[in-house]
A and B are shown apart, each in its own frame.
Chain A
């Protein structure tokens, strides 16, 4: 059988001065595959991510939307804000559906039924789908190395059903499934699943990266790298959820930066060629975790020891990235130097009455 020639789209990288802070990007494409008129909340983080991702991908793109906010809020009444082909799939079948789309295009090209470049196939799974329910199918798609990009937009909870804890919900994060109270004052005592490292470790032939909406150019570049990579790629993107995190809507992008600056969301890339993590991304500042926590109502109940525990967790992440810790951060991991979050007493009082 003669070798089939597959025409691939190679997307150029954006110039990124100051690691993602942006000034005058003339290369930003005009194309807009994600348009207004959807019913996400004001200041929705996943929606910001969706827009940036699709803009980076361009018009020749197929989007797959397993159940989650970006399906429920966007495709009501059988119409969608997508200017490109989009299909919904079950929450558990994100990976298998995406693999099917990719395989179908491979087959159509082989049979000569599809002329033109191979489309960018992007699956936009929430963290519920990617870390809990659809984990197996996504792992399968990555394992079989279908030419697709699977994105986990990580808002750290099941948001469209009303804020339930997922395995990505951080330590101390309050949800309806993890309320703070007498027995568990920190609300959630389990640590989040390190999903992206799991994918990198388990599927080392794939391009894997983490990104945050706080660094849009970096995010769009990682999406393009993932799409340019021949084979499966996986990106986990931090997307704040205003309803679940309980913050002022204007802070969406700010939180995306703070979570990185506080060391709670390490930014890295897995290089499938060298089989190595690339930890070269550095935020402008390093801050104690309390700066990130204090903006969010879901951490309002935390006591000093919990904040110190989170700081320890963050410090371990910094060490993992090979960053030398400033003294201030080491001190902040000591309970003696940390104060309760503002609403800790109030939250306790409420918990007692319930």
Chain B
């Protein structure tokens, strides 16, 4: 069908019988635009993966797993740093709500997201210079009270926004709960020190040994800074209101861990140690007690079985491996002994479920139990110490009075972290505090810039579930386990219990990710399109184009999309978020139409144009 050597008049320059231009992928064959056969069209719309949604600080988990599986570790680290100032810390201590939400958990086993995060965190720690830079200075000063997870996160985000940030910390070392609440064998001090160094590199000033209410007053904060973030955390341990709780040998969980973390501990434990409480702090205390020289450690909880305990199941498992004994459905009512703990008085107990009354029902009819022990560690939660706070900002429950953006009334004071979240029903975990610090930092920024506050940080459209995805493309593949030290060895040492991933392991684990609801450029739609009207110009996320002039709406690509990112949209019934095709049923007329136009004008032309075309 060559046109070589044939003279073509103007009015036949458009294709006619036997004379067609060469078709191309971008323009198609041009004579039959088949798009008007279509009643639905495929649309790429990235949805919220369940991991990103479950994360306390909405890390872009799917995003960095995708980068790791392409071997782009630096990009992955930069992505994680957008929401998380210290991935090396959360990679060790996080209770990983992302892994519980992971869709892969319903298929075979959840992705080991925390281990990949830790790998990236350690990768970032080894970099000579961090990827994050402080924003251009905007001349405003912000104080952050407390250098725990929330304070660290808020200071980090504010520095990135260009604020001059000062952190006020009452302890001799910065780190807050990260240092004082998390034992060394979970989070080594050198890791935390390096993360604090990174903060200093951002130009943040840290003033240690500075306590609000003692060294700095409320009015000082008001006067010297444009705004202030209060992230003081919950520092005072709860008591169990038992008789004789003031005897020698009774220790409270959080101060016990804090003193060891700060290096100021002078506690000597006996042979038998009992821990009261069933949460994460109690578990850490029990395991720390073993490492401080105790031989037999018993944990007494009100819960009836291990499943009901409000803790991370893995940590519970590791604790049992180390030889801690559990006693369920009991409450301590008295500490017995002559000036020093000799035994505990225990009664059967259960949770009443009551909201206003005491939540624990103790059965005093039953015979009391005498439980001999040398030390008792009480770890049943903690509360805030707010003596320095002006009374107008306290509420009836003794916590801080804030609005939903974390702001104290009309002041330039904001509260973040456990102190703000204690009454909200959120789990009081590191990652939730980090998320709160981030949100408060952005709210503070908006207030100072006099912009309206935003209700949510990340808009949620649809959280992708398995039903939206095509599981044919995912072979079953077991989860990679992190190596751990042997229980008999680790119970006497401060060495890190859980070992990190190597680069290869992180790559393989990330490779298991489904990329739920997000285009990860797998080329599936591109390869199965019958037209083929899906064009791949640049290979990267979501960069396919559908030639709507030709798409017949067969929906093969939608059915075969492994991640469920493609969806079908009725052609005449677009909702928001989708660009309406301006010519739904009157798409480009193609060459037939153009030729018809030419022929219509034929009569207006002088006759010689047609006849003397040589």
Which residues of A are at the interface with B, using a C-beta cutoff of 8 A?
A: 18, 21-26, 28, 32, 34-45, 47-48, 51-52, 76-83, 213, 216, 242, 249-254, 257, 284
B529–chain A nearest beta-carbon distance, Å: 8
Question: Which of A22, A41, A79 has a CB less than 8 Å from the CB of B524?
Answer: A22
Question: Which of B18, B532, B550 has a CB less than 8 Å from the CB of A34?
Answer: B532
Q: Are A252 and B554 in contact (CB under 8 A)?
A: yes
Question: Which of B38, B472, B530 has a CB less than 8 Å from the CB of A284?
Answer: B472
Check B387 for interface membership: any CB of A closer than 8 A: no
Q: Are B527 and A28 in contact (CB under 8 A)?
A: yes
Check B15 for interface membership: any CB of A closer than 8 A: yes
Check B539 for interface membership: any CB of A closer than 8 A: yes
A177–chain B nearest beta-carbon distance, Å: 26
CA distance A32 to B537 in the complex (A): 12
Query: Contacts A82-B23, A252-B554 given: A28-B523 contact, CB under 8 Å?
Result: yes
A-B residue pairs, 3 tightest by C-beta: A37-B29, A43-B554, A36-B550
Q: Are A253 and B34 in contact (CB under 8 A)?
A: no
Query: Contacts A21-B473, A35-B23, A250-B559 given: A79-B31 contact, CB under 8 Å?
Result: yes
Which residues of B are at the interface with A, using a C-beta cutoff of 8 A?
A: 1, 15, 17-18, 20, 22-25, 28-34, 37-38, 70, 472-475, 521-524, 526-533, 539, 547, 549-550, 552-556, 558-560
Instruction: List residues of chain B with CB within 8 A of the CB of A35.
Output: 23-25, 28-29, 532
A216–chain B nearest beta-carbon distance, Å: 5
Q: Are B554 and A37 in contact (CB under 8 A)?
A: no
Q: Are A37 and B33 in contact (CB under 8 A)?
A: yes
Residue of B nearest to A242 (CB): B554
CA distance A80 to B524 in the complex (A): 25
A18–chain B nearest beta-carbon distance, Å: 5
Instruction: List residues of chain B with CB within 8 A of the CB of A80.
Output: 20, 23, 29
A19–chain B nearest beta-carbon distance, Å: 9
Residue of A nearest to B528 (CB): A253
Q: Are A79 and B29 in contact (CB under 8 A)?
A: yes
Q: Add 7 more A-B contacts to A37-B30, A250-B554 (CB < 8 A).
A: A21-B474, A36-B29, A37-B531, A42-B554, A78-B20, A251-B559, A254-B472
Residue of A nearest to B526 (CB): A28
Query: Contacts A48-B528, A80-B23, A250-B556 given: A21-B29 contact, CB under 8 Å?
Result: no
CA distance A250 to B561 in the complex (A): 11
Residue of B nearest to A45 (CB): B530
Instruction: List residues of chain B with CB within 8 A of the CB of A32.
Output: 25, 532
Instruction: List residues of chain A with CB within 8 A of the CB of B38.
Output: 42
Question: Which of B23, B524, B539, B558 has a CB less than 8 Å from the CB of A37?
Answer: B23
Q: Are A37 and B560 in contact (CB under 8 A)?
A: no
CA distance A240 to B549 in the complex (A): 24
Instruction: List residues of chain B with CB within 8 A of the CB of A39.
Output: 32, 34
Query: Contacts A35-B25, A36-B34, A82-B23 given: A216-B528 contact, CB under 8 Å?
Result: yes
Q: Are B522 and A47 in contact (CB under 8 A)?
A: no
Q: Are A78 and B18 in contact (CB under 8 A)?
A: yes
A116–chain B nearest beta-carbon distance, Å: 19
CA distance A253 to B527 in the complex (A): 11
Q: Are B531 and A47 in contact (CB under 8 A)?
A: yes
Query: Contacts A32-B532, A79-B29, A79-B31 given: A253-B559 contact, CB under 8 Å?
Result: yes
Q: Are B554 and A38 in contact (CB under 8 A)?
A: no
Q: Are B555 and A250 in contact (CB under 8 A)?
A: yes
Q: Are A83 and B559 in contact (CB under 8 A)?
A: no
Q: Are B556 and A43 in contact (CB under 8 A)?
A: yes
B268–chain A nearest beta-carbon distance, Å: 58
Question: Which of B31, B532, B539, B553 has a CB less than 8 Å from the CB of A42?
Answer: B553
Instruction: List residues of chain A with CB within 8 A of the CB of B556.
Output: 43, 48, 249-250, 252-253
Instruction: List residues of chain B with CB within 8 A of the CB of A36.
Output: 25, 28-29, 34, 531-533, 547, 549-550
Question: Which of B473, B532, B550, B560 has a CB less than 8 Å from the CB of A51?
Answer: B532
Residue in A18, A28, A45, A250 with the greatest tally of chain B CB atoms within 10 Å: A250
Q: Are A22 and B34 in contact (CB under 8 A)?
A: no
Q: Is the interface of B mostly helix, strand, loop or mixed?
A: loop
Q: Are A249 and B17 in contact (CB under 8 A)?
A: no
B32–chain A nearest beta-carbon distance, Å: 5
Q: Are B1 and A83 in contact (CB under 8 A)?
A: no
Question: Which of B475, B526, B528 has a CB less than 8 Å from the CB of A18?
Answer: B475
Residue of A nearest to B553 (CB): A42
A53–chain B nearest beta-carbon distance, Å: 12
B570–chain A nearest beta-carbon distance, Å: 15
Query: Contacts A34-B532, A250-B559 given: A81-B522 contact, CB under 8 Å?
Result: no
Q: Are B24 and A83 in contact (CB under 8 A)?
A: yes
Q: Are A38 and B29 in contact (CB under 8 A)?
A: yes
Q: Are A22 and B23 in contact (CB under 8 A)?
A: no
CA distance A261 to B547 in the complex (A): 33
Residue in A23, A35, A40, A77 with the greatest tally of chain B CB atoms within 10 Å: A35
CA distance A21 to B560 in the complex (A): 11
Residue of B nearest to A24 (CB): B522
CA distance A44 to B560 in the complex (A): 15
B513–chain A nearest beta-carbon distance, Å: 11
CA distance A32 to B29 in the complex (A): 12
Instruction: List residues of chain B with CB within 8 A of the CB of A242.
Output: 554
CA distance A26 to B70 in the complex (A): 12
Instruction: List residues of chain B with CB within 8 A of the CB of A81.
Output: 23, 28-29
Instruction: List residues of chain B with CB within 8 A of the CB of A213.
Output: 528
Instruction: List residues of chain A with CB within 8 A of the CB of B554.
Output: 42-44, 242, 249-250, 252
CA distance A214 to B28 in the complex (A): 25
Q: Are B1 and A78 in contact (CB under 8 A)?
A: yes
Question: Which of A26, A45, A76 has a CB less than 8 Å from the CB of B539?
Answer: A26
- What are 24 pairs between A and B in contact, CB < 8 Å? A21-B475, A22-B473, A23-B522, A24-B70, A24-B521, A26-B539, A36-B28, A36-B29, A37-B28, A37-B531, A38-B34, A42-B37, A42-B552, A43-B552, A79-B23, A80-B29, A83-B25, A216-B527, A216-B528, A250-B555, A252-B528, A254-B559, A254-B560, A284-B472
CA distance A26 to B553 in the complex (A): 27
Instruction: List residues of chain B with CB within 8 A of the CB of A76.
Output: 32
CA distance A83 to B33 in the complex (A): 17
A240–chain B nearest beta-carbon distance, Å: 10
A124–chain B nearest beta-carbon distance, Å: 15
Instruction: List residues of chain B with CB within 8 A of the CB of A42.
Output: 37-38, 530, 552-554
CA distance A32 to B27 in the complex (A): 12
Query: Contacts A37-B550, A250-B556 given: A52-B23 contact, CB under 8 Å?
Result: no
B563–chain A nearest beta-carbon distance, Å: 11
Q: Are B29 and A43 in contact (CB under 8 A)?
A: no
A123–chain B nearest beta-carbon distance, Å: 19
CA distance A77 to B17 in the complex (A): 7
Query: Contacts A35-B23, A43-B554, A44-B530 given: A24-B29 contact, CB under 8 Å?
Result: no
Instruction: List residues of chain B with CB within 8 A of the CB of A216.
Output: 527-528
CA distance A338 to B17 in the complex (A): 56
CA distance A36 to B23 in the complex (A): 9
Instruction: List residues of chain A with CB within 8 A of the CB of B559.
Output: 250-251, 253-254
CA distance A45 to B529 in the complex (A): 10
Instruction: List residues of chain A with CB within 8 A of the CB of B18.
Output: 78
CA distance A42 to B531 in the complex (A): 8
Instruction: List residues of chain A with CB within 8 A of the CB of B521.
Output: 24
CA distance A23 to B475 in the complex (A): 11
Query: Contacts A42-B552, A51-B532, A79-B31 given: A257-B472 contact, CB under 8 Å?
Result: yes
Q: Are A43 and B539 in contact (CB under 8 A)?
A: no
Residue of A nearest to B474 (CB): A21
